[in-house]
Amino acid sequence: MSNVTDDESNELSPEQRLEPRNIRLIDPSIATIDDMDTLRTCVAYENTHQNRIQILRRLKRRAEEIRSKEA
């Protein structure tokens, strides 16, 4: 279990979310994104810096999850 609160999670930068020291933390970092603004910022960061197809797919899936919760 993580000790990170939702507010702390929302304060993570795209770099912290998408380029952690341990790559196993990328999926949990993406899973904690709970708003489209943060997600768009992460997509823009990924497109500019790494452009990894797998990460962009995970971000797309998260966007779909967020949209379904908002509907």
pLDDT tens per residue, range 49-58: 999 999 999 9
Q: Whole-model pTM?
A: 0.83
For residue 56, report the phi and psi dihedrals to the nearest 5 degrees. -60, -35
Residue burial 27-47, b: 16+ Cβ < 10 Å; e: rest: eebbebbeeeebbeebbebbe
Q: 13 in helix, strand or coil?
A: coil
Q: For the segment 10-25, what is each residue's pLDDT rounded down to a tens digit?
A: 789 999 999 999 999 9
- CA-CA distance, 14 to 61, in Å (whole number)? 17
